[in-house]
Amino acid sequence: MEDLTQEEWAEQLVNDSNAVVLDVRTDAEVADGIIPNALHFDIYKGQEFINEIEDLDKSKNYYVYCRSGNRSGKACQIMEQLGFENTYNLEGGMLDWTGEVVDLE
């Protein structure tokens, strides 16, 4: 896991053709908007969250965020335990995010 600042995360994401963005917030938080093309898996769902994560392609690079950066850090740790090699935590989460946000359809 690597903690990235907002600028590092956004810059690296743009240049990564193997990137997948993960939002690990609750449904209520996601209702306020989501980073474009992000997949949503609520970390508070426990085993269901782990089951969903296990189905993902471990060869991809995962850019993970939550509201403040704490839950996404935990999600990155869980993903590493499951065999994911490249996970990037967004420091400051959505609270500090200045990039594009879209409504979840």
Q: Annotated active-site positions, please?
A: 66
Sheet holding 39-40, edge to edge: 2-4, 87-90, 61-65, 19-23, 39-40
Beta bridge partners of 79: none
Q: What gap in Å lies between CA 4 and CA 52, rounded to an integer?
A: 24
Note whether 25 and 64 are within 8 A (CB). no
